[in-house]
Chains A and B, each alone.
Chain A
Amino acid sequence: MSDNSQVTKPNPNDEGTLLPPVDVIEDASGITLYADLPGVPKDKLHLQVEADTLTIEGGIDLEMPGGIEASHAEVSLSRYRRVFTLSKELDPNKVSAEFKNGVLKLSIPKAEHAQPRKVEIRVA
C-alpha cells in the first residue's frame, strides 16, 4: 500500500485540500489505517475503493455563529483528501470502516491466498 496523493490529478472543482495525517499498521491478517479527519460529520465522509485505489475524502462542517470573522486560522481549507494505492494481496471487497470523534479506522484484510504460510525448507 503506498501513498500517491501527490501525483494524482487534483479534482478540477477544488482549490486545494488538507492532507490528513495517517497511521498505517500491518499485521498478519491485514492493514489497519487510522486517519485524523476532525470536523467531518459522518455524512460528509466519502470512502471509495476503485480497482486498487483507495480514496479518503471528507468535508469539514463546523457550527459557526453568523457574522464570525476569523482572526487566526490554522485550518484554512474545508476539505480533506488522501489517496492510497492498495497492493494486490489486499482484499478491496472486505474493507470495513469505523468513524468516531473525527478518527477514521479502516481495516483492509488480506485476501485468503495471501495469508501467511509457513514455507517448509527441505534439506537435500
Chain B
Amino acid sequence: MIYRSLFPRDVFAELDRLQREMQQGFRLSPSIRGIARGGFPAMNVGGTPQSVEIYAFAPGIDASSLDVQIEKGMLIIAGERQRQAPGTDATVHIDERFEGRFRRVVTLPDDIDPNLVDAKYTDGVLRISVARKQSALPRRITIQ
C-alpha cells in the first residue's frame, strides 16, 4: 500500500504497480506477450463448445471510447481511461487506479467465426463473445 502526498504519479507508484504485478504474476505460465497479469484491463478467457468468451475488467470507461477489433486471429481491446484531475488545493493520499491509454491483445483459437461477435459492457466489465465456426461444432452422425 502506498501513502504519498508529495509527488503524484512518481516512480514509487510505478514500483508499487510492478510489485503487484510480480506478486500476482508467478501463478501464470509466461506468455509470448509477456506477463500480462496485473495489466489493465484484467482479463478472463473461457470457452464453451459454441463460443469463446472474453471478459475484460475495465471499470469507469465510456463504452463508446472502447475499440475492439479482430484481426488475423487476434482480439485487440484498446481505449483510454481518463481521470478527473484533482483540484489545486487537493492532496492525493493513495493513487493506485489505472489511468491512461491501454491496449491488450489476445490470441483467439483457429475455429472461431470473426463475423459472429457480440460485445457488451455491463458494470464495468466488457464481455466479448465470439462464436465458433459451424463446421467446428460437434455433430452427431445418424447410422442408417
Contact surface of A with B, Cβ cutoff 8 Å: 1-3, 5-6, 21-28, 31, 34, 36-41, 61-75, 100-103
**B28, B46, B57: which contacts A38 (Cβ < 8 A)?**
B57
Contact with A along B90-131 (1 / 0, CB 8 A): 111111111000000000000000000000011111010100
Report the bound CA distance from A13 to B92 in whole Å. 34
A69 B94 Cβ-Cβ under 8 A: no
What's the tally of chain B residues with a CB closer than 8 Å to chain A? 45
Does chain A have a CB within 8 A of B73? no
Report the bound CA distance from A21 to B61 in whole Å. 16
Number of A-B contacts (CB under 8 A): 124
What 3 pairs across the A-B complex have the smallest Cβ distances? A102-B124, A102-B59, A38-B124
**B45, B83, B97: which contacts A22 (Cβ < 8 A)?**
B97
A67 B49 Cβ-Cβ under 8 A: yes
**B38, B49, B124: which contacts A36 (Cβ < 8 A)?**
B124
